[in-house]
Amino acid sequence: MSDQTLTILLFLVVVAITIGITIWASRETKSAADYYAGGRQFSGLQNGLAVSGDYMSAASFLGISGLISTVGYDGFLYSIGFLVAWLVALLLVAELLRNSGRYTMADQLAYRMNQRQVRTAASLSTVAVSIFYLLAQMVGAGTLVVLLLEVDEGLVKNVVIAGVGALMIFYVTVGGMKGTTWVQIVKAVLLMSGTLLITVLTLMQFNFNVSDMLGAAAEQSGSGQAFLEPGLVYGVTTMAKIDFISLAMALVLGTAGLPHILIRFYTVPTARVARTSVQWAITLIGFFYLMTLVLGFGAAALVGTEEIAAVDPAGNLASPLLAEAVGGGEGSTGGAVLLALIAAVAFATILAVVAGLTLTSASSVAHDLYASVLRKGKATEKDEVRVAKIAAFVIGAIAIGLSILAQDLNIAFLVALAFAVAASANLPSLLYNLFWRRFNTRGAVWAIYGGLVSCVGLVIFSPVVSGPTTGTALFADSDWSYFPLSNPGIVSIPFGFLMGYLGTITSREKASEERYPEFEVRALTGAGSETAHH
Amino acid sequence: MAEDLTTSQQAAYHRIHDSDDFAVLRKRVRGFAFAGTAAFMAWYLLYVLLSSFAVGFMSVQVVGNINIALIFGLLQFASTFLIAVLYSKYAASQLDPISAGLLAEYDKKDV
């Protein structure tokens, strides 16, 4: 059996397992609360695994280890931001959100504000963040499969993207939140086990001496000791340093504004379980990033930075190549088996994350735009769920189309952009609403649109989109890069908060202030919150 | 508005809101959340700034090839785990009993 056959076989096993789960879950899904929130009966560990599954995307698994293997320590900075960010979710958001919302991010705003306005705004930013994130995953899936199966680019890549899209539409429309959550749980277990296996095998090569591994990595990287120090990419100029600080802000503040993470807190019965699930997520994600550190430096040491970059300049295949190396190298049975195994895990990762993202945007379109704005709350639950399924289909189709167009975009950039939009547009209104009595509709709407427009606008005028600076800009031949940074967060995040503040103090909304005491009691104690459905 | 509340619900919400227990709960929730956030953000920002502007310091080797930058990075992991554990202990002993009492108060309204 050739390597490719084995890889394809394992891919098919992953697909079969996930389809099985989805069909089982569809039988358990009856009400709207089942479809949107999985019946709210997941345990802390289950939801912690699912949250981790949603979070540890292909960009984390392939992207961060790839970055570490090619640029060294600077790649590690990503993992730290991604982990520390969970404290914002734990301390400020998870429990209060669980108690004050139902199905979508907009619910907690709509409780005390003008529903039509805040739901429209929140739905728009939910879809925007999810689409950027979706693109990153689907482009990644195309690249991964083309490189692993050693097939010609072009048509096959498009077929793979369309196939992933079709599967994701299937998971979401048939399985709903329950199916998607179980797919995440299975994926998280597969990902953690696969990563642990490769980590242990890698450390064994160095007799568990981390210092030796780092030394070998520095030697094989071609950059010497600088490979183990910060600044290889982000320390070249002052502007690069500011760009890095901007990125760091988006990473740490973006997580608690990611809609597909936020709605996971609705799948548990109480705020206490929401807390436990974040704690499980922090534990799992923390150990996962510690392991990617070993994978990244291990890949540099055992495969070599030059070799990794030759296969894929962004380094995205560092982990699969490392798996092959520790399994016995190219041509050996062990190498082929481990390579196929890790590739299948990466594939499962992509499938699960795209499903979570599609469900999130479809829920928001159905629950916020259709049921509340269009039908003014007169839609039946059945109607709402039907529209959610149609929306999943449409969003899936749009994502497939955009991904085929966006094939050459850098995956890490798309993910960073999703985090920046989440931090600029979603986090300000979320925090103001939870903690500030005076906050009102105008404040929420200004914060969301202000953060969204400034963030996307600055990216359009950044060196990532045009100009010769980065060398990989979309329009390298013309230059309208008036904003010098690749990461907009350092400007757009404070701008989102400022707009929320200004919008609030320039208008008075008695109803919003009067309902705050009820909202606050509900958020802090869970009195009157949505309960579990059995 | 998201939903219409009954008079008894509204009365219960306001009774709880005005109670001393609720004032204590709010003070503790906000106290831990704001202080904790300020602490870990300052600690994280220090790390980010040192990584950008004090590369010389971060590059000092401590044991073998393990330098200060790596140790500092791992300390960020440790502090994240630590704050999460401290919060869960604090919440279980200082927050959950009060919120459970208030929730029971709310559920009594229908009796």
pLDDT in tens, A400-445: 888 888 777 767 678 888 999 999 999 999 999 999 999 999 999 9
SS3 content of chain A, % helix, strand, coil (to 5): 80, 0, 20
Mutate to test the interface with A, among B21, B43, B70 (most CBs of A within 10 A): B70
Chains A, B: CB contacts under 8 A, how many?
A: 162
At residue B88, what is the residue type? Answer: S
**B63, B74, B103: residue with CB nearest A527:** B103
**A211, A282, A521: residue with CB nearest B63:** A211
Mutate to test the interface with A, among B13, B21, B45 (most CBs of A within 10 A): B13
Q: Output Rg (C-alpha) for chain B, integer angstroms.
A: 22
Number of H helices, E strands in chain A: 25, 0
Is B8 within a domain?
Answer: no
Looking at residue B110, its pLDDT comes to 66
Q: Is A517 on the interface with B (CB under 8 A)?
A: yes
Give the total number of structural domains in chain B: 1
Rounded Cα–Cα distance for residues A520 and A434 (Å)? 8
Q: Is A482 on the interface with B (CB under 8 A)?
A: no
Mutate to test the interface with A, among B50, B53, B65 (most CBs of A within 10 A): B65
Complex ipTM above 0.90?
Answer: yes
User: Are residues B1 and A88, on separate chains, in Cβ contact within 8 Å?
Assistant: no
Q: How far is B108 from chain A (nearest CA, A)?
A: 11
Q: Which residues of A touch B47 (CB under 8 A)?
A: 80
Looking at residue A377, its pLDDT comes to 84
Rounded Cα–Cα distance for residues A110 and A120 (Å)? 10
H helices of A38-111, where? 44-55, 58, 65-71, 73-84, 86-88, 94-100, 107-110
Is B74 within a domain?
Answer: yes
Higher per-residue pLDDT: A7 or A199: A199
Rounded Cα–Cα distance for residues A297 and A216 (Å)? 9
Q: Is A231 on the interface with B (CB under 8 A)?
A: yes
Looking at residue A157, its pLDDT comes to 78
C-alpha closest to that of A311 among A15, A16, A2, A62 = A62
Q: Which residues of A touch B1 (CB under 8 A)?
A: 110-112, 115, 511, 515
- Report the DSSP beta bridge partners of residue B66: B63
Looking at residue A146, its pLDDT comes to 75
Determine the residue of chain B that is closest to A272 in CA distance: B96
C-alpha closest to that of A254 among A524, A61, A492, A500 = A492
pTM: 0.93
Is B28 within a domain?
Answer: no
DSSP character string of chain B = ---PPPHHHHHHHHHHHTSHHHHHHHHHHHHHHHHHHHHHHHHHHHHHHHHHH-HHHHT-EEETTEEHHHHHHHHHHHHHHHHHHHHHHHIIIIIHHHHHHHHHHHHGGG-
Mean model confidence pLDDT for chain A: 90
Least confident interval from A10-14, A142-146, A492-496: A142-146
Burial class (CB within 10 angstroms; exposed 0-12, middle 13-18, buried 19+) of A1 = exposed
Instruction: Report residue A533's pLDDT band, with 50, 70 and 90 as the boundaries.
Output: low
pLDDT in tens, A396-409: 999 888 888 877 77
Determine the residue of chain A that is closest to B10 in CA distance: A518
Rounded Cα–Cα distance for residues B33 and B38 (Å)? 9
Residue range B44-66: average pLDDT?
93
Residues 6+ apart with CB under 8 A from A193: none
User: Are residues B47 and A225, on separate chains, in Cβ contact within 8 Å?
Assistant: no
User: Are residues B69 and A230, on separate chains, in Cβ contact within 8 Å?
Assistant: yes
Q: Which residues of A touch B52 (CB under 8 A)?
A: 230-231, 234-235, 241, 244-245
User: Are residues A289 and B77, on separate chains, in Cβ contact within 8 Å?
Assistant: yes
Residue range A507-521: average pLDDT?
93
**pLDDT-above-70 percentage for chain B:** 95
Determine the residue of chain A that is closest to B9 in CA distance: A528
Q: What is the fold of A3-410?
A: Sodium/glucose cotransporter (1.20.1730)
Indicate whether A509 pLDDT > 50: yes
**pLDDT-above-90 percentage for chain B:** 81
Q: Which residues of A touch B9 (CB under 8 A)?
A: 528
Indicate whether B23 pLDDT > 70: yes
Query: Looking at chain A from residue 279 to 308, which residues have their Cβ under 8 Å from any Cβ of chain B?
Result: 279, 282-283, 286, 289-290
Rounded Cα–Cα distance for residues A409 and B7 (Å)? 56
Query: Looking at chain A from residue 374 to 403, which residues have their Cβ under 8 Å from any Cβ of chain B?
Result: none
Looking at residue A233, its pLDDT comes to 80
Whether A47 and A268 have beta carbons less than 8 Å apart is answered as: yes
Give, in order, the Cα–Cα distances in Å from A190 to each of A83, A321, A328, B52: 20, 18, 22, 36
pLDDT in tens, A444-458: 999 999 999 999 999
Query: Looking at chain A from residue 447 to 476, which residues have their Cβ under 8 Å from any Cβ of chain B?
Result: none
- Report the DSSP beta bridge partners of residue A466: A475
Looking at residue B1, its pLDDT comes to 42
Looking at residue A343, its pLDDT comes to 86
**A84, A112, A511: residue with CB nearest B80:** A84
Q: Which residues of B touch A275 (CB under 8 A)?
A: 88, 91
| Domain span including residue B53 | 36-110
Whether A285 and A191 have beta carbons less than 8 Å apart is answered as: no
Place of tokens 């919060």: B87
Question: Among the ranges A316-330, A356-370, B19-33, which has the highest mean pLDDT value?
Answer: B19-33
Q: Which residues of A touch B84 (CB under 8 A)?
A: 86-87, 90, 278-279, 282-283
Indicate whether A1 pLDDT > 70: no
User: Are residues B80 and A286, on separate chains, in Cβ contact within 8 Å?
Assistant: yes
Determine the residue of chain B that is closest to A101 in CA distance: B2
Is B72 within a domain?
Answer: yes
Instruction: Report residue A29's pLDDT band, with 50, 70 and 90 as the boundaries.
Output: confident
Place of tokens 């600029």: A424
Looking at residue B111, its pLDDT comes to 56
Token duo for residue A254: 């973006």
Place of tokens 């959550």: A181
Q: How far is B38 from chain A (nearest CA, A)?
A: 10
**A90, A229, A244: residue with CB nearest B69:** A229
Q: Which residues of A touch B40 (CB under 8 A)?
A: 84, 87
C-alpha closest to that of A524 among B79, B47, B55, B103 = B103
Is B22 within a domain?
Answer: no
Rounded Cα–Cα distance for residues A254 and A301 (Å)? 32
User: Are residues B102 and A84, on separate chains, in Cβ contact within 8 Å?
Assistant: no
Rounded Cα–Cα distance for residues A37 and A454 (Å)? 32
Q: How far is A210 from chain B (nearest CA, A)?
A: 8
Mutate to test the interface with A, among B80, B85, B102 (most CBs of A within 10 A): B80
Q: Is A494 on the interface with B (CB under 8 A)?
A: no
> Is residue A475 classed as helix, strand or coil in its secondary structure?
strand
Rounded Cα–Cα distance for residues A66 and A70 (Å)? 6
**B64, B84, B103: residue with CB nearest A211:** B64
Determine the residue of chain B that is closest to A441 in CA distance: B1
Is B98 within a domain?
Answer: yes
Indicate whether A119 pLDDT > 50: yes
Indicate whether B107 pLDDT > 90: no
pLDDT in tens, A254-286: 999 999 999 999 999 999 999 999 999 999 999
